[in-house]
Amino acid sequence: MEVADLNKERSTLIIAVMTLVTIGLSLIISTGQTLSRQEEAGILHLQLSARSVLQAVESSLRTGMIVRPDAGMFRPGTAEYFRELERSGEVVFVGIIDERGGRVITSRDNPAEATTIVFPPDALTILREQGEWSGRATYGKSNVYVHARRTATGAVSRHDNAGNPLPSFLVVGLDMTKHMAVYKGFKQNALFQAAYILAAALFIWGLAMGLLKRRELAGKALLLERFQAKLLDNLPDGLLIVSPLNVIRAANPAAHAILGAQGSGLAGLSLDQLQDNVGECLMPPEEGPAAGWQRKTAKGAHLEILSVPLREHDEEGSRLVLIRDRTRMRELERSLADAEKMAALGTLAAGVAHEIRNPLSSLRGFAQYFAKKFKGSSPDETYAQTMIREADRLNRVITDLLYLSRPRSVQPQDVSLLQLAEDISNLVRMDLEDRAVSLDISLEAQGVRADEDLLKQAVLNLVLNSLDALAESTLETKRIHIASASGDGGVWIFVRDTGPGMTRAQKEQAFEPFFTTKSKGTGLGLALVHKTMREHGGRALIESEEGRGTTVALFFPDNEHADYDWSA
């Protein structure tokens, strides 16, 4: 199972947060610098405007337009001149102040209109020391931009009480309302743009995080889908999704293998289209979903089927069908039952051999005595010979029982199948001629590793069973075919006949001890064959239909494929 890497998710989140923080800090710094430059540009504009006004006033001082050169006194129209400058729009006031900030003359000599200029604490000191100062000051309730500069020497003469000349400063105050309005508007635009960009960045960041989250979820969903696909593909049990109309919507590989699907597969097929009785087995149980596991038989396989409703599905009423192939389990159960039967049979055989063989030997001896005594006397001699034959038959039954019940050490060796077939052909040659039966031999695999005596006895039993079956056949051509082939990690040996065949019930009971359809049979031949194959770690299979003959297949695995311990 694949697991998502949480470190990748953490790294992606940290990178996204750092990116957003970087964008935010860059935006704040950029906006602050832009506003600072805009404010500096506005101050520079006010400074240039104030210098221009002061330059014009100083020019008037030099030409004597507002000052009497001979007396160093202001002309009577000086205040009016200052008021004309004020009316130009941006100029709030123009005037001349002394070194303490006191008014000498201003554009507003009317006491009701005049307002004191409140300079910053160090403005007058800088003005006295450097002769020029510019900056913001308070004029009444308004903030004005003030620019002051020492007047030209001799233009305006003022003296203290001792007769010493006092310095005078020309000052102009400009209205900052328009500038502040422009700056405020620019500031609002800049903040709005910054907020817009930040919001856009947040939005994009949110989209990116959502996309990353969706990709993460999609990745997890893909991983989960792959895991589920692998899980379902490797599930040993078959899984089907069946619609309410009994149409198969999905099927995993195990379901195809169990049901023997061919062609394009099971998906899209209706249950009615499935071969044999498979569709009937997959129909919903009459008892309802709570019926649990149902045991069914389809295509010769023993199945366990569970049908449960799918509550969250596109098609309401769909159901999930689980299929388990229990054929091998049933075979193991049968093998266990056979082993238990053999154990019970062994106990029975040991008792029978002990209780019957000794008196049976005496009875046979007496039968031989009477056969000699009544030789040539009919029917006494016939009765005696019959007693001998029946005693011998009973002794063979006891011998077969003992062999069937006792474990035997298997001695594997390389056996030539051609030699084996020829030996068996020679053994049954007279029976074949008497019953007009032909024996065909076709061997693809030339050899097998097995116990030669047990193998010969098993094949001979099968040939004798075929001869007995063909004796009851009405066909003109009666044939027995011995064949071999390699495959499935071992060697197959087949014995086929053209006899009347077997019913399904007869096939299921064929390997059971004492089961026979022959009037004179003991029912131990096929049981002995089955026991021989188990001792070799192989298996015996019967394929037969009524009227179409019978084929018995014996499978001998190679040493590297066999589970049987040859040394046992």
71-128 per-position pLDDT tens digit: 444 555 555 666 676 666 677 777 777 777 666 555 555 554 556 778 888 888 888 8
pLDDT at site 86: 66
Return left, alpha or beta for 140; rule: phi > 0 is left, psi -120 to 50 is alpha, else beta: left
Q: Quote the CA–CA distance of 186 and 167 in Å, as a whole number.
A: 41
Place of tokens 């003469």: 157
- Prior bond to 253 cis, omega within 30? no
- Helix, strand counts (H, E) of the chain: 13, 20
User: What one-letter code names the amino acid at 564?
Assistant: Y
Count Cβ atoms within 10 A of the Cβ of residue 560 and give its class: 0-12 exposed, 13-18 middle, 19 or more buried. Answer: exposed
In the chain, where does the domain assigned CATH 3.30.450.20 lie?
9-181, 238-325
Query: Hey, what CATH class is 330-405 in?
Result: mainly alpha
Check if the beta carbon of residue 133 is closer than 8 Å to that of residue 148. yes
In three-state secondary structure terms, 163 is coil
Q: What is the 3-state secondary structure (H, E, C) of 2-43?
A: CCCCHHHHHHHHHHHHHHHHHHHHHHHHHHHHHHHHHHHHHH
In the chain, where does the domain assigned CATH 1.10.287 lie?
330-405
Pairing mode of beta strands 132-139, 248-251: unpaired
- Residues with Cβ within 8 Å of residue 433, at least 6 apart in sequence: none
- Which residue positions in the chain have pLDDT lower than 50? 1-7, 68-73, 112, 153-157, 560-568
Q: Quote the CA–CA distance of 327 and 268 in Å, as a whole number.
A: 27
Which uninterrupted H or E stretch holds 301? strand 301-309
Check if the beta carbon of residue 132 is closer than 8 Å to that of residue 148. yes
pTM across the whole model: 0.45
Place of tokens 């590989």: 253
Q: What angle do CA 196, 199, 201 make, to 5 degrees?
A: 110
pLDDT at site 551: 92
Q: Quote the CA–CA distance of 125 and 247 in Å, as a whole number.
A: 102
Count Cβ atoms within 10 A of the Cβ of residue 237 and give its class: 0-12 exposed, 13-18 middle, 19 or more buried. Answer: middle
Quickly list H helices, 374-503. Answer: 380-405, 417-427, 429-434, 452-471
What is each CA distance from 88 to 73, 83, 91, 93, 105, in whole angstroms?
Answer: 25, 9, 7, 11, 19
pLDDT at site 340: 77
Which letter, b or e, does each residue of 426-464 get, where b requires 16 or more Cβ atoms within 10 Å of its Cβ?
eebeeebeeeebebebebebeebbbbbebbbbbbbbbbb
Fold of 9-181: Beta-Lactamase (3.30.450)
Architecture of domain 238-325: 2-Layer Sandwich (3.30)
pLDDT at site 216: 78
Q: Quote the CA–CA distance of 66 and 82 in Å, as a whole number.
A: 10
Architecture of domain 413-557: 2-Layer Sandwich (3.30)
